[in-house]
Chains A and B, each alone.
Chain A
Amino acid sequence: NAGVTQTPKFRVLKTGQSMTLLCAQDMNHEYMYWYRQDPGMGLRLIHYSVGEGTTAKGEVPDGYNVSRLKKQNFLLGLESAAPSQTSVYFCASTPNRKTEAFFGQGTRLTVV
């Protein structure tokens, strides 16, 4: 059972570089989310999707873009990375609004 898989697991970027984080789930879930986790701040929602072809902004969307072209994949893009985007990024999915989220293993991103 793969569940929710994130790639890559680690990445170091220089300021101004771009990258895409991939999240894939094999549970046929409708909802997918991208969070960032910073010390002392818990998980904060960046963007989310309620189905294929849809995306919406969360609490901290600035500097990020997302796409959900296929139901099983949710991509998070950084067009011009900044040191403030150094964080651990988690992807999660749920079948609907009323159940617990299943999380990926996280991506540790460092922007220097």
Chain B
Amino acid sequence: EDKVVQSPLSLVVHEGDTVTLNCSYEVTNFRSLLWYKQEKKAPTFLFMLTSSGIEKKSGRLSSILDKKELFSILNITATQTGDSAIYLCAVEAVNYGQNFVFGPGTRLSVLP
């Protein structure tokens, strides 16, 4: 059965800290891994990763994929209170014809 595991499930840090969020997966016919940020409502897209070892970067956020070890990390440097959200990892799979398998999410709280 396809599955996506995220850790930690919850994290509390202070502004300025650096955090690393983890996503590991067991998915049939892997195609891509996506990271989303979910604040109060709709998840919003952050990154799509398809190749191992190539870092994607956007401002203070960066992510990398390891297809051999089947995981990805999302790094956030110099965290701000606006980074407080649930971070979702999703993997594109073909099981059930399903397009994305989502992990449970990591709830990040950044305190001032």
Contact = CB atoms under 8 A, between A and B. Distances in A.
A42 B102 contact: yes
A56 B102 CA distance: 18
B66 interface: no
A105 B100 CA distance: 18
A94 interface: yes
A42 B105 contact: yes
Interface stretch (B12-20, B42-50, B56-64, B68-76): B42-50
**What does DSSP make chain A's interface, helix, strand, loop or mixed?**
strand
B102 A44 contact: yes
Contacts of A45: 96, 98-100
Contact of B42 (A58, A59, A97, A103): A103
A36 B1 CA distance: 19
Interface residues of B, number: 25
What bracket does the count of chain A residues touching chain B fall in?
20 to 34
The 9 closest A-B pairs by CB, nearest first: A103-B42, A43-B102, A42-B102, A100-B45, A42-B104, A105-B41, A103-B43, A105-B42, A106-B41
Interface of B: 4, 6, 9, 31-32, 34, 36, 41-45, 48, 88, 90, 92, 96-100, 102-105
Interface of A: 4, 31, 33, 35, 40-45, 48, 56-59, 90, 94, 97-106
